[in-house]
Structure 1
């Protein structure tokens, strides 16, 4: 049985029947894309449908997919001057105006200037016409006479220009007639919990919404009341700031039902707004876990915010919006929105403040553990966040700690579980980072993030038992990592290698006195790019030039010295410091590796140097994590 129906609506009908969820994503179409869309419609060509859904107790349909198309039509209605091809040579209107006014007889420079002013006057006329203002039939003549008074007493010019004005308005009305335009609308009639899956399959080539943006529409009736306490204040201001930015991005298209002063006065936001702001807060307070730029990525912020709140209520990622009952009415489960409301948080602002405070406390605990290992050499605030792990891995750390400390929250008066520290919590704290490294080496979070996270939420997996981490498992992962990288021809710095280098450097931070260190190649990129058999050496000979064994933290001075004195005939030292800091046991081997690769076209010394140095660094990593 089909779970949808199709209706054709005019723009006016759709405007009356639809609502756009307040917290929509930024508009992603460029001006060119919007202009092409309107041009396509003006020529009578078909265009993509809009997807609508009527949520429980709602009078109007929520516009779920097709926001770009709808808002472009809305923008055309309000600003047709931005789309109508006023200067289209085929229309002849501009040429007629230039002839009627005599401007076409003026010098070329003067003519170009006055022509621009005429085009502006026409666009102003279109804008006034769209605003339902009473447009004078002599508006265009009066506008041109203001900057070209020579025509003010010319009755022939008056008649011609007023006639052209009427034709321009008629052409505009026929260009895209929104009153008669038939818009195809697909109305989904299935269960609201199925909407995320719908978006995984509908309109695959378009800029479809993420599942979190679907929840925005689905949960807009769930509210959050905020106190005037610190975290609630921050969340409120983040919501307002985001709307201000969205308004700017939309070139003046207003966001429905948003007023910053009213929001500050009422201190009420929707649950989706709360989740997004919570995600921003978590990222900002977890600088050793996520790069600062993550706060600008909506899907990352939503993933963190929505799932963190879901973890509080013991809800896995697959069931964020709830689980519908089967055909016999069994198996229904509450989603985040219903759990938030049923546990009493919706109308308890003090409990919301306490909840946010406790969520952030766990993330600060995680961040502190990571900051100890991931601080970049020579820096007090920058952290290595280029690793290839995924964000759900960090959510699993939060899930593991929260489950042990609070369990599944069912009411606003939740408190820590008695004895939680001795029941795995403290051991989990200790093992988070070693487990992070083990999972990173094994690529455990690639492609199975949701199901793995669900296991940590339920307690099927943990980070404190003997099976979570062991030295033998770490060594096996290291051996596999070395084997995978040893014969992979590459020159770009491996993110995992950069993370491992950072961990090792923090174990001997006293050896790094410079203020700025960069990850540099030891066997130089110049040598790696030397030609062997017509190709780059690192590709032709499968040299892991961007792997752990060939990367080191160097200052710019150290890197220049290394590059200038790499070859045996240089007669100089390899570094201006002790190379053992970077696990270089024998500087001659590095010099020989560069020389052989660049001059003798032999990769053997380079491969041996990279392999041996990687083993030394990884031995150090084992001692750090297993001590």
Structure 2
């Protein structure tokens, strides 16, 4: 076996040397360590304990090294150099000075105020201390001035000078940052591998998503945005995201200033992909929640990869020179954004009529589907409509694409149902996505035959009937919603709930040793919310008899509602507790088959 040549070397480099040779990410907007995390790290250095390495890389045509991983550690050391008073423990010195200047006999508010004055003066002394030009009376003069402002005389010069000497000794002996040996990994491979290397180094502790890895490493690759419509929205979404992190989550973000960002009009490629994802989510409420930041990353990066013909496992190559050239071309970037978002709007229009909840056309709570499945819909439309010429930087419309696009639209709802029933997108799904996005094996151009779809539905339903359940199963809710969409205008109330035909309370009386599929398709229906609240745990016939008088045929037909005699037999059977629940099972099974038969007719 041939050993691969290492793409890195490990060195122990002093902070003093690194401070001269390192380029820190100037464009990067990062979540930063809290004050406590910074203090704990400096305490680690003070104790002489080992700490994590930093990763550096020399980009082509640069004389200095770029810091890739370890920014928080390195900048904390630098912050200690500039602001040692924020790190060194001074509580004992505060108490010593308090005993000299003030008194424990004073009222508590006064004592606390005096200690705050001492703390302020002490930190000011440490921050302003110059080793080459030390003033032996500096601390005394600071304390004297600050206390005189509140009418307290400070005259214990000799004792304060002694404490100043002790502070200086502690300061000098606490930590010599210039001689700290920092474990340094120098990566010598390609810059496209940096994200993977970063991810491997950060496998311990808090798990980072690959998108967080890209965000940490792609700060170097910035894009100057134009004033065109979609480019401006990218910038707005990026600023909005950072402002949310700061205002709502209380997170500190380094190098973030909304005004300067707006003025400069510059974001990095990681931010571009995230903001692009946000724009997509807003256009596809049928399937996605636009407030989900992790989802915005996944969809933004993956969609960008589809357009650039990159396999999902190779997302790191989005930053290749060829692709960066597309982002830098303002017309090309605007065309990519406009064309892709138009496809997502088309997908949303196609599915919203099937998956909207009765009474509320903006509610899609019963839609399901994996992210890769929805991305595959985009890939099918994109590859049918467009061919991207990266060299000429042109997005070409493919001749005859209208006919194929129409075929995909016609077939997609059946494929959506069929693939969910078959579990074809379970697991990661990236290889299946690549078949459509990269290998152009566009199965959506072909129709799922009626026999194939019917067999899949029956197989799925037979499996559900063999399981005891009470809570509604997600696929059942989705199928029932799609079937209800073909009679959407008959649902005239403003709010509907999914309700059990055979009430939960009644099913729960049956011993768990018996298989009653109470949560599957044959036992669910849409019921207007007000009726549902009044009905409670009754059959509809009993509720109607008590309140209205007659259960209409329209209601029975719309909901495939069993006849009264059947439900009466079910109630007697359950309350008898004789161990034979064939009537209950039969009602659920037959009603579910009726719904599936109706769905098959509607989807033809």
TM-score normalised to the size of structure 1? 0.79
In the other structure, the counterpart of 1:104 is 104
* Of 343, 347, 351, the match for 1:370: 351
Name the CA distance, whole Å, in 2 between partners of 1:199 and 1:165: 45
Q: Is the 8 A contact 1:38 1:83 kept in 2?
A: yes
Name the CA distance, whole Å, in 2 between partners of 1:82 and 1:480: 67
Name the CA distance, whole Å, in 2 between partners of 1:37 and 1:597: 66
In the other structure, the counterpart of 2:560 is 583
Q: Is the 8 A contact 2:274 2:301 kept in 1?
A: yes
In the other structure, the counterpart of 1:283 is 281
Deviation digits for residues 89-140 of structure 1, max 9, x if unmatched?
Answer: xxx445545543453224xxx32x3454456446645764676588941377
| Distance verdict in 2 for CA 1:528–1:260, change over 3 Å | same
In the other structure, the counterpart of 2:269 is 271
Name the CA distance, whole Å, in 2 between partners of 1:549 and 1:75: 66
* Corresponding residue SS for 1:187: strand
In the other structure, the counterpart of 1:403 is 383
Q: Is the 8 A contact 1:593 1:603 kept in 2?
A: no
Name the CA distance, whole Å, in 2 between partners of 1:26 and 1:213: 11
In the other structure, the counterpart of 1:187 is 186
Deviation digits for residues 229-261 of structure 1, max 9, x if unmatched?
Answer: 221221222233344456667865532xx6655
* Corresponding residue SS for 1:288: coil
Name the CA distance, whole Å, in 2 between partners of 1:143 and 1:592: 94
1:19 paired to 2:17:
no
Q: CA deviation at 1:456?
A: 0.9
Q: Is the 8 A contact 1:290 1:385 kept in 2?
A: no
Q: CA deviation at 1:216?
A: 4.5
Name the CA distance, whole Å, in 1 between partners of 2:81 and 2:486: 63
Q: CA deviation at 1:448?
A: 4.1
1:57 paired to 2:52:
no
| Distance verdict in 2 for CA 1:226–1:48, change over 3 Å | closer
Q: CA deviation at 1:368?
A: 0.8
| Distance verdict in 2 for CA 1:419–1:251, change over 3 Å | closer
| Distance verdict in 2 for CA 1:596–1:240, change over 3 Å | same
In the other structure, the counterpart of 2:309 is 314
1:412 paired to 2:389:
no
| Distance verdict in 2 for CA 1:384–1:459, change over 3 Å | farther
In the other structure, the counterpart of 1:485 is 464
Counting matched residue pairs gives 586
Name the CA distance, whole Å, in 1 between partners of 2:116 and 2:572: 68
In the other structure, the counterpart of 1:204 is 203
Q: Is the 8 A contact 1:140 1:161 kept in 2?
A: no
| Distance verdict in 2 for CA 1:160–1:194, change over 3 Å | same
* Of 420, 423, 444, the match for 2:424: 444
RMSD: 4.1
Q: Is the 8 A contact 2:29 2:253 kept in 1?
A: no
1:557 paired to 2:540:
no
Matches within 5 A, 1:13-162: 13-16=17-20, 17-20=22-25, 22-23=27-28, 26-27=31-32, 37-67=41-71, 69-70=73-74, 92-93=92-93, 95-106=95-106, 110-111=107-108, 113-114=109-110, 116-117=112-113, 120-121=116-117, 124=120, 128=124, 136-138=138-140, 141-142=143-144, 145=147, 149=151, 152-156=152-156, 160=159
Which is higher, the Rg of structure 1 or of structure 2?
A: 2
In the other structure, the counterpart of 1:331 is none
| Distance verdict in 2 for CA 1:432–1:560, change over 3 Å | same
Q: Is the 8 A contact 1:314 1:409 kept in 2?
A: no
Name the CA distance, whole Å, in 2 between partners of 1:167 and 1:318: 58
Q: Is the 8 A contact 1:125 1:139 kept in 2?
A: no
TM-score normalised to the size of structure 2? 0.81
Q: Is the 8 A contact 2:366 2:481 kept in 1?
A: no
Deviation digits for residues 506-542 of structure 1, max 9, x if unmatched?
Answer: 222123222233344555555566695xxxx4xx656
Name the CA distance, whole Å, in 2 between partners of 1:21 and 1:147: 42
Where in structure 2 are there 5+ consecutive unaligned residues? none
Q: CA deviation at 1:161?
A: 5.4
Q: Is the 8 A contact 1:375 1:382 kept in 2?
A: yes
Name the CA distance, whole Å, in 1 between partners of 2:498 and 2:119: 55
In the other structure, the counterpart of 1:431 is 411
